[in-house]
Amino acid sequence: MILYFSATGNNKYCAEYIAAKCGDKVVSMNDMIKNDVRVLDCAGEERLGIVAPTYDFDLAYVVKDFLTRLEIQNVNEKIYIYGVFTCGSNSGYTEYTFNEILNRKGIKLNASFVIEMPDNYVLMFKQKSPEAKNKMLAQADEKLKKFSKLIAAKQDLQKKLKRPSKIISWATKKFFIPSQKKVKGFSVNENCIGCGLCEKVCPMNIIKIQNHSQSGQKITARAASHVFTVARSRPSIAAALLRTDDI
Protein backbone atom coordinates (compact mmCIF):
# COMPACT_ATOMS: atom_id res chain seq x y z
CA MET A 1 0.00 0.00 0.00
CA ILE A 2 1.17 3.51 -0.83
CA LEU A 3 -0.20 6.61 0.89
CA TYR A 4 0.46 9.81 -1.00
CA PHE A 5 -0.22 13.49 -0.50
CA SER A 6 -0.28 15.52 -3.69
CA ALA A 7 -1.44 19.01 -4.53
CA THR A 8 -0.23 19.65 -8.06
CA GLY A 9 0.40 16.07 -9.13
CA ASN A 10 4.11 15.39 -8.52
CA ASN A 11 3.59 12.97 -5.65
CA LYS A 12 0.53 11.33 -7.18
CA TYR A 13 2.62 10.60 -10.26
CA CYS A 14 5.44 9.10 -8.15
CA ALA A 15 3.04 6.99 -6.09
CA GLU A 16 1.26 5.60 -9.14
CA TYR A 17 4.57 4.88 -10.88
CA ILE A 18 5.89 2.89 -7.92
CA ALA A 19 2.55 1.15 -7.42
CA ALA A 20 2.53 -0.01 -11.04
CA LYS A 21 6.02 -1.47 -10.72
CA CYS A 22 5.39 -3.10 -7.33
CA GLY A 23 1.79 -4.22 -7.76
CA ASP A 24 0.63 -2.13 -4.79
CA LYS A 25 -2.48 -0.02 -4.35
CA VAL A 26 -2.44 3.74 -3.85
CA VAL A 27 -4.43 5.64 -1.22
CA SER A 28 -4.82 9.41 -1.24
CA MET A 29 -3.86 11.12 2.00
CA ASN A 30 -5.76 14.15 0.66
CA ASP A 31 -8.99 12.15 0.86
CA MET A 32 -8.10 10.68 4.23
CA ILE A 33 -7.40 14.15 5.65
CA LYS A 34 -10.55 15.61 4.14
CA ASN A 35 -12.70 12.81 5.58
CA ASP A 36 -10.88 12.79 8.93
CA VAL A 37 -9.72 9.17 8.61
CA ARG A 38 -7.38 8.42 11.51
CA VAL A 39 -6.88 4.65 11.36
CA LEU A 40 -4.91 2.65 8.79
CA ASP A 41 -5.09 -1.15 8.77
CA CYS A 42 -2.00 -2.79 7.25
CA ALA A 43 -3.17 -6.38 7.65
CA GLY A 44 -2.05 -8.46 4.68
CA GLU A 45 0.22 -5.75 3.25
CA GLU A 46 3.77 -6.50 2.07
CA ARG A 47 4.82 -2.88 1.92
CA LEU A 48 3.74 0.46 3.33
CA GLY A 49 5.05 3.49 1.51
CA ILE A 50 4.54 7.19 2.20
CA VAL A 51 4.97 9.55 -0.74
CA ALA A 52 4.91 13.22 0.22
CA PRO A 53 6.41 16.64 -0.54
CA THR A 54 9.02 18.71 1.22
CA TYR A 55 7.85 22.13 2.42
CA ASP A 56 10.40 24.56 3.84
CA PHE A 57 13.18 21.95 4.16
CA ASP A 58 10.97 19.57 6.13
CA LEU A 59 8.09 17.14 5.72
CA ALA A 60 5.00 19.07 4.64
CA TYR A 61 3.32 20.15 7.86
CA VAL A 62 -0.06 18.89 6.60
CA VAL A 63 1.41 15.41 6.19
CA LYS A 64 3.36 15.65 9.44
CA ASP A 65 0.22 16.45 11.43
CA PHE A 66 -1.77 13.71 9.70
CA LEU A 67 0.83 10.97 10.19
CA THR A 68 1.35 11.97 13.83
CA ARG A 69 -2.37 11.47 14.52
CA LEU A 70 -2.74 8.37 12.33
CA GLU A 71 -3.12 5.04 14.14
CA ILE A 72 -1.35 2.42 12.02
CA GLN A 73 -2.63 -1.04 12.88
CA ASN A 74 -1.29 -4.55 12.22
CA VAL A 75 2.26 -3.50 11.37
CA ASN A 76 4.94 -6.14 11.85
CA GLU A 77 8.59 -6.67 10.91
CA LYS A 78 7.59 -8.41 7.68
CA ILE A 79 6.05 -5.23 6.25
CA TYR A 80 8.56 -3.12 4.34
CA ILE A 81 8.26 0.51 5.43
CA TYR A 82 9.61 3.27 3.19
CA GLY A 83 9.22 6.91 2.29
CA VAL A 84 9.59 8.76 -1.00
CA PHE A 85 9.88 12.52 -0.78
CA THR A 86 9.85 15.11 -3.54
CA CYS A 87 11.53 18.49 -3.44
CA GLY A 88 12.64 21.30 -5.72
CA SER A 89 16.31 21.02 -4.82
CA ASN A 90 16.83 20.22 -1.12
CA SER A 91 14.78 17.85 1.02
CA GLY A 92 16.28 19.26 4.21
CA TYR A 93 15.16 17.24 7.23
CA THR A 94 12.16 15.52 5.66
CA GLU A 95 13.55 12.00 6.02
CA TYR A 96 14.61 12.62 9.62
CA THR A 97 11.17 13.96 10.57
CA PHE A 98 9.45 10.99 8.94
CA ASN A 99 11.70 8.55 10.78
CA GLU A 100 11.01 10.30 14.10
CA ILE A 101 7.26 9.98 13.56
CA LEU A 102 7.66 6.25 12.91
CA ASN A 103 9.94 5.82 15.92
CA ARG A 104 7.29 7.30 18.19
CA LYS A 105 4.88 4.67 16.86
CA GLY A 106 7.39 1.85 17.34
CA ILE A 107 7.74 1.31 13.60
CA LYS A 108 11.08 0.70 11.88
CA LEU A 109 11.90 2.60 8.69
CA ASN A 110 13.51 0.32 6.09
CA ALA A 111 14.38 2.88 3.43
CA SER A 112 13.79 6.45 2.28
CA PHE A 113 14.30 8.12 -1.07
CA VAL A 114 14.40 11.68 -2.39
CA ILE A 115 13.38 12.80 -5.88
CA GLU A 116 13.93 16.30 -7.24
CA MET A 117 11.00 17.57 -9.30
CA PRO A 118 10.00 21.01 -10.62
CA ASP A 119 9.33 23.31 -7.68
CA ASN A 120 5.69 24.39 -7.73
CA TYR A 121 5.68 26.84 -4.84
CA VAL A 122 4.99 29.75 -7.14
CA LEU A 123 4.52 32.24 -4.33
CA MET A 124 8.26 32.21 -3.73
CA PHE A 125 10.13 30.63 -6.63
CA LYS A 126 10.25 31.60 -10.30
CA GLN A 127 9.20 28.70 -12.46
CA LYS A 128 11.74 26.90 -14.62
CA SER A 129 11.53 26.97 -18.39
CA PRO A 130 9.62 24.11 -20.09
CA GLU A 131 12.93 22.68 -21.29
CA ALA A 132 14.42 22.69 -17.79
CA LYS A 133 11.25 21.13 -16.36
CA ASN A 134 11.26 18.35 -18.95
CA LYS A 135 14.91 17.59 -18.21
CA MET A 136 14.18 17.46 -14.49
CA LEU A 137 11.18 15.18 -15.02
CA ALA A 138 13.25 12.83 -17.18
CA GLN A 139 15.82 12.59 -14.40
CA ALA A 140 13.02 11.98 -11.90
CA ASP A 141 11.76 9.08 -14.03
CA GLU A 142 15.21 7.51 -13.97
CA LYS A 143 15.27 7.74 -10.18
CA LEU A 144 11.75 6.34 -9.94
CA LYS A 145 12.77 3.40 -12.09
CA LYS A 146 15.77 2.71 -9.83
CA PHE A 147 13.90 3.23 -6.58
CA SER A 148 10.96 1.08 -7.68
CA LYS A 149 13.27 -1.90 -8.20
CA LEU A 150 14.70 -1.48 -4.71
CA ILE A 151 11.23 -1.12 -3.20
CA ALA A 152 9.88 -4.14 -5.08
CA ALA A 153 12.81 -6.19 -3.78
CA LYS A 154 12.23 -4.80 -0.26
CA GLN A 155 15.83 -3.69 0.08
CA ASP A 156 16.72 -2.54 3.59
CA LEU A 157 18.64 0.68 3.04
CA GLN A 158 19.40 2.20 6.41
CA LYS A 159 21.29 5.49 6.29
CA LYS A 160 22.28 8.17 8.73
CA LEU A 161 19.62 10.85 8.60
CA LYS A 162 20.50 14.49 9.00
CA ARG A 163 19.26 15.95 12.28
CA PRO A 164 17.66 19.39 11.92
CA SER A 165 19.61 22.35 13.23
CA LYS A 166 17.98 24.30 16.05
CA ILE A 167 18.19 27.54 14.06
CA ILE A 168 16.41 26.16 10.99
CA SER A 169 13.80 24.39 13.13
CA TRP A 170 13.11 27.65 14.97
CA ALA A 171 12.88 29.65 11.74
CA THR A 172 10.53 27.10 10.19
CA LYS A 173 8.14 27.13 13.16
CA LYS A 174 8.39 30.91 13.60
CA PHE A 175 8.09 32.12 10.02
CA PHE A 176 7.57 29.51 7.29
CA ILE A 177 4.71 27.38 8.70
CA PRO A 178 2.67 30.40 9.90
CA SER A 179 3.08 32.01 6.48
CA GLN A 180 1.53 28.93 4.85
CA LYS A 181 -1.61 29.32 6.95
CA LYS A 182 -2.53 32.75 5.63
CA VAL A 183 -4.81 33.61 2.74
CA LYS A 184 -3.07 36.91 1.97
CA GLY A 185 -1.98 36.93 -1.65
CA PHE A 186 -4.98 34.97 -2.93
CA SER A 187 -8.08 36.40 -4.57
CA VAL A 188 -11.17 35.26 -6.48
CA ASN A 189 -12.03 37.02 -9.72
CA GLU A 190 -15.07 37.30 -11.97
CA ASN A 191 -14.27 34.06 -13.80
CA CYS A 192 -15.68 32.04 -10.90
CA ILE A 193 -18.67 30.03 -12.12
CA GLY A 194 -19.66 28.71 -8.68
CA CYS A 195 -19.10 25.05 -9.60
CA GLY A 196 -17.90 24.22 -6.10
CA LEU A 197 -14.92 22.17 -7.29
CA CYS A 198 -12.46 24.17 -5.20
CA GLU A 199 -14.50 23.45 -2.07
CA LYS A 200 -14.79 19.77 -3.01
CA VAL A 201 -11.08 19.08 -3.64
CA CYS A 202 -9.61 21.18 -0.81
CA PRO A 203 -8.10 18.57 1.55
CA MET A 204 -8.19 20.96 4.50
CA ASN A 205 -11.95 21.68 4.30
CA ILE A 206 -11.22 25.40 4.62
CA ILE A 207 -12.95 26.75 1.49
CA LYS A 208 -16.63 27.65 1.54
CA ILE A 209 -18.76 29.04 -1.27
CA GLN A 210 -21.49 31.35 -0.04
CA ASN A 211 -24.39 33.03 -1.82
CA HIS A 212 -23.31 32.16 -5.33
CA SER A 213 -25.61 33.54 -7.99
CA GLN A 214 -25.42 35.11 -11.44
CA SER A 215 -25.04 38.49 -9.81
CA GLY A 216 -22.09 37.57 -7.66
CA GLN A 217 -20.45 35.10 -5.30
CA LYS A 218 -18.37 34.94 -2.18
CA ILE A 219 -15.64 32.38 -1.58
CA THR A 220 -14.02 32.38 1.84
CA ALA A 221 -11.15 30.47 3.40
CA ARG A 222 -10.63 30.54 7.15
CA ALA A 223 -6.97 29.58 6.64
CA ALA A 224 -4.64 28.38 3.95
CA SER A 225 -2.26 25.48 3.58
CA HIS A 226 -0.62 26.80 0.40
CA VAL A 227 -1.04 23.40 -1.23
CA PHE A 228 -2.22 24.23 -4.70
CA THR A 229 -4.75 21.43 -5.15
CA VAL A 230 -7.46 23.98 -5.76
CA ALA A 231 -5.44 26.03 -8.22
CA ARG A 232 -4.67 22.94 -10.30
CA SER A 233 -8.26 21.63 -10.24
CA ARG A 234 -10.28 24.70 -11.15
CA PRO A 235 -12.14 24.71 -14.50
CA SER A 236 -11.44 28.41 -15.01
CA ILE A 237 -8.75 30.76 -13.79
CA ALA A 238 -10.86 32.09 -10.94
CA ALA A 239 -8.67 31.60 -7.88
CA ALA A 240 -5.79 33.93 -8.58
CA LEU A 241 -2.41 34.32 -6.97
CA LEU A 242 -1.60 37.99 -6.70
CA ARG A 243 2.16 37.58 -6.94
CA THR A 244 2.47 35.40 -10.01
CA ASP A 245 1.05 34.56 -13.39
CA ASP A 246 2.89 31.24 -13.65
CA ILE A 247 0.20 28.96 -12.26
Domains of the chain: total: 2
Residues 226, 193: one domain? yes
Residues 18, 96: one domain? yes
Q: What is the pTM of this model?
A: 0.79
Q: By mean pLDDT, which of 76-80, 81-85, 112-116, 240-244 is the weakest?
A: 240-244
Evaluate whether residue 122 is within a structural domain. Answer: yes
Residues 28, 87: one domain? yes
Residues 197, 163: one domain? no
Range of the domain at 194: 186-241
Residues 169, 216: one domain? no
Q: Which pLDDT band holds residue 233 (cuts at 50, 70, 90)?
A: very low
Highest mean pLDDT among 64-78, 155-169, 214-228: 64-78
Evaluate whether residue 135 is within a structural domain. Answer: yes
Highest mean pLDDT among 10-19, 178-187, 230-239: 10-19
Point out the domain boundary residue: 152, 176, 200: 176
* pLDDT at residue 152 greater than cutoff 80: yes
| pLDDT value of residue 236 | 47
Residues 18, 40: one domain? yes
CB 227 within 8 A of CB 60: yes
Q: In the predicted model, what is the mean pLDDT of residues 30-46?
A: 94
Evaluate whether residue 246 is within a structural domain. Answer: no
Evaluate whether residue 146 is within a structural domain. Answer: yes
Residues 171, 62: one domain? yes
Q: Which pLDDT band holds residue 162 (cuts at 50, 70, 90)?
A: low
| pLDDT value of residue 214 | 39
| pLDDT value of residue 199 | 76
Residues 71, 193: one domain? no
Tell me what percent of the residues of the chain surpass a pLDDT of 90.
47
Give start and end residues of each alpha helix (H) in the chain: 10-22, 29-34, 61-69, 94-104, 130-152, 166-171, 177-179, 197-201, 229-233
CA distances from 173 to 59, 63, 74, 182 (A): 12, 15, 33, 14
Evaluate whether residue 247 is within a structural domain. Answer: no
For the chain, what is the mean pLDDT? 79
Domain with residue 55: its CATH number is: 3.40.50.360
Evaluate whether residue 204 is within a structural domain. Answer: yes
Point out the domain boundary residue: 176, 194, 221: 176
Q: By mean pLDDT, which of 108-122, 200-214, 224-238 is the weakest?
A: 224-238
Phi/psi of residue 200, nearest 5 degrees: -70, -45
CA pair distance 147, 199, nearest whole angstrom: 35
Residues 163, 75: one domain? yes
